């Protein structure tokens, strides 16, 4: 599943795109009805946004229904009482927990003390749980998301007039690619940010996939010169564990300052290198030198070679083709005992082989908690195994 968000993202836009892509509204209504929430209905209709046809999904609240400011514990209790499918409850719990952590950081409190205002309301609970259910009904194995437009200006919230993106949304967008499209409005809501940034296996460009369906979800407002729609592409990626061709681009250097290797390696990765490494060698006249090796897909040879010519002292590069068999891997954010941490997870025939925490996250948490890095690393790995293997 790839979510393309040129105009932003909200809970109702995500639900609309999933329904437009094939999720039956009756299936959503039937399974969400198990949640212990009263006074709501789910509706869908076709609308026009600019030149686009899209589906608008609304959670309609009955008149007189009380608005609650719920804590994380209260929301999680609602999810548990709903006896949802295991995968749906797990996704929804991750989204709400990460949202609570973001609000806690933004307001200087703890996740337990956070009171959800808009996100604790019935419509937000239905949006988030419905999105998790929709992904389950479409059998989405992985979620990928485009860069999100950050928006601008000001909005009125429970804490008064606040800048866009709102503090909680800004925390959710940390370490996630964003783009300024020049639109001065709230384009990404806390609900939309929580769903997409929590579930995304990758963010940025669309992965290689064979697209079978495309769904369009409509937002509420009309934006100037921009259709307010979110698109989701549903399809299949190449079979995991299959062979693929890569190129190994190399050059040998003996006359370059070591200080120049760091910016060179950064540019190689930006040019599409899959990996870059240095090997010390002894060259003619017993000079110490370095073999610089960059791995890339075949179409990246020209870009990698250009960077080597521009950023290093080499006057020639060599390259060869190799076949490799990679394990399928994804980047997931898991809520550990120390808070949310990004993990690179690889699988063999569906079984988790490795779950490696992002080391920068581990170091940051160790500093914040005044704990040894090794202790945080060991606990993060143990929590990941427990969460991923159930």
* Cα–Cα distance measured from residue 59 to residue 28, given in angstroms and rounded to the nearest whole number: 12
Please tell me the predicted confidence (pLDDT) of residue 82: 92
**22 and 86 housed in the same domain:** yes
Report phi then psi at 107, rounded to 5.
-110, 5
Reported confidence tier of residue 214, pLDDT bands at 50, 70, 90: very high
- Closest by alpha carbon to 267, among 309, 315, 320? 309
Query: With 90 as the cut, is the pLDDT of residue 313 above it?
Result: yes
Question: Looking at 236, 262, 290, which one is the last position of a domain?
Answer: 236
% residues pLDDT > 70 (the chain): 96
Average pLDDT estimate for 128-143: 93
Average pLDDT estimate for 324-343: 84
Please tell me the predicted confidence (pLDDT) of residue 390: 58
What are 277's two structure tokens?
Answer: 């490494």
Structural domain tally of the chain?
3
Which of 91-95, 119-123, 366-370, 380-384 shows the lowest mean pLDDT across its residues?
A: 119-123
Q: pTM to 2 decimals?
A: 0.64
* Cα–Cα distance measured from residue 128 to residue 196, given in angstroms and rounded to the nearest whole number: 10
* Cα–Cα distance measured from residue 82 to residue 200, given in angstroms and rounded to the nearest whole number: 25
**219 and 70 housed in the same domain:** yes
Question: Looking at 274, 299, 324, which one is the last position of a domain?
Answer: 324
CA torsion 384-169-123-217 (nearest 10°) is: -90
Q: How would you classify residue 204: left for phi > 0, otherwise alpha for psi between -120 and 50, otherwise beta?
A: left
**181 and 282 housed in the same domain:** no
**119 and 224 housed in the same domain:** yes
Query: With 70 as the cut, is the pLDDT of residue 107 above it?
Result: yes
Express each pLDDT in 287-309 by its tens digit: 999 999 999 988 889 999 999 99
**266 and 209 housed in the same domain:** no
**222 and 92 housed in the same domain:** yes
Distances (CA, A) of 195 to 91, 104, 341: 9, 17, 16
Residue that the structure tokens 């990679």 belong to:
326
Express each pLDDT in 138-163 by its tens digit: 998 889 999 999 999 988 876 678 89
% residues pLDDT > 90 (the chain): 64
Please tell me the predicted confidence (pLDDT) of residue 120: 52
Q: How many CB atoms lie within 10 A of CB 333?
A: 19
- Closest by alpha carbon to 9, among 173, 174, 239, 129? 173
* Cα–Cα distance measured from residue 271 to residue 308, given in angstroms and rounded to the nearest whole number: 11
Query: With 90 as the cut, is the pLDDT of residue 236 above it?
Result: no
Contact assessment for residue 199 and residue 340, using Cβ atoms and an 8 Å cutoff: no
Please tell me the predicted confidence (pLDDT) of residue 388: 82
- Strand, coil or helix: 114: coil
Average pLDDT, the chain: 90
End-to-end CA distance of the chain: 24
**219 and 277 housed in the same domain:** no
Average pLDDT estimate for 336-353: 83
Please tell me the predicted confidence (pLDDT) of residue 239: 59
**255 and 371 housed in the same domain:** no
Please tell me the predicted confidence (pLDDT) of residue 175: 82
Query: With 80 as the cut, is the pLDDT of residue 119 above it?
Result: no
Which CATH number goes with the domain that contains 279? 3.30.70.1380
**255 and 228 housed in the same domain:** no
State which residues form the domain around 47: 2-236
**225 and 289 housed in the same domain:** no
Query: With 60 as the cut, is the pLDDT of residue 86 above it?
Result: yes
Reported confidence tier of residue 115, pLDDT bands at 50, 70, 90: confident
Express each pLDDT in 238-277 by its tens digit: 655 567 889 999 999 999 999 999 999 999 999 889 999 9
**15 and 144 housed in the same domain:** yes
Question: Looking at 210, 236, 262, which one is the last position of a domain?
Answer: 236
Please tell me the predicted confidence (pLDDT) of residue 133: 97
- Strand, coil or helix: 40: strand
**308 and 349 housed in the same domain:** no
Q: Where are the beta strands (DSSP E) in the chain?
A: 2-4, 40-49, 52-61, 70-71, 115-116, 143-145, 148-149, 154-157, 160-163, 178-179, 200-203, 210-218, 229-236, 244-253, 275-282, 288-296, 318-324, 329-336, 339-348, 351-357
Average pLDDT estimate for 96-114: 90
């Amino acid at each position: 599943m790839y979510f393309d968000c040129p105009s932003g993202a909200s809970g109702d836009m995500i639900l609309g795109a999933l329904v437009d892509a094939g999720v039956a509204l009756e299936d959503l209504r039937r399974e969400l009805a198990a949640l212990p929430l009263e006074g709501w209905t789910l509706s869908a209709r076709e609308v026009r946004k600019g030149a686009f046809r899209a589906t608008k999904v609304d959670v309609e609240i009955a008149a007189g229904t009380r608005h609650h400011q719920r804590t994380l514990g209260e929301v999680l209790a609602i999810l548990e009482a709903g006896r949802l499918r295991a995968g749906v409850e797990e996704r929804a719990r991750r989204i709400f927990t990460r949202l609570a952590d973001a609000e806690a950081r933004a307001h200087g409190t703890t996740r337990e003390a956070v009171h959800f205002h808009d996100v604790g309301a019935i419509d937000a609970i239905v949006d988030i749980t419905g999105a998790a259910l929709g992904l389950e009904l479409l059998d989405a194995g992985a979620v990928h998301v485009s860069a999100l437009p950050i928006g601008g200006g000001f909005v009125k919230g429970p804490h008064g007039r606040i800048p866009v993106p709102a503090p909680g949304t800004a925390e959710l967008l940390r370490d996630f690619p964003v783009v300024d499209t020049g639109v001065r409005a709230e384009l990404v809501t806390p609900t939309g940010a929580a769903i997409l940034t929590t579930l995304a296996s990758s963010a940025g460009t669309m992965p290689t996939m064979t697209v079978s369906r495309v769904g369009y979800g409509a937002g509420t407002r009309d934006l100037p010169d921009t259709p307010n729609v979110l698109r989701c592409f549903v399809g299949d990626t190449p079979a995991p564990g299959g062979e693929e061709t890569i190129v190994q681009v190399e050059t040998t250097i003996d006359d370059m300052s070591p200080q120049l290797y760091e910016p060179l390696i950064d540019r190689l990765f930006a040019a599409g290198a899959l990996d870059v490494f240095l090997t010390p060698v002894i060259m003619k006249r017993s000079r110490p030198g370095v073999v610089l090796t960059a791995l890339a897909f075949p179409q990246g040879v020209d870009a990698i070679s250009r960077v080597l010519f521009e950023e290093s002292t080499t006057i020639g590069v060599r390259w060869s083709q190799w076949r490799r068999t990679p394990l399928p891997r994804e980047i997931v954010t898991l809520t550990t005992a120390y808070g949310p941490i990004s993990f690179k997870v690889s699988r063999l025939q569906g079984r988790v082989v490795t779950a490696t925490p992002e080391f920068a996250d581990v170091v940051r948490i160790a500093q914040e908690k005044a704990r040894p890095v090794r202790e945080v690393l060991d606990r993060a790995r143990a929590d990941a195994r427990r969460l991923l293997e159930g």
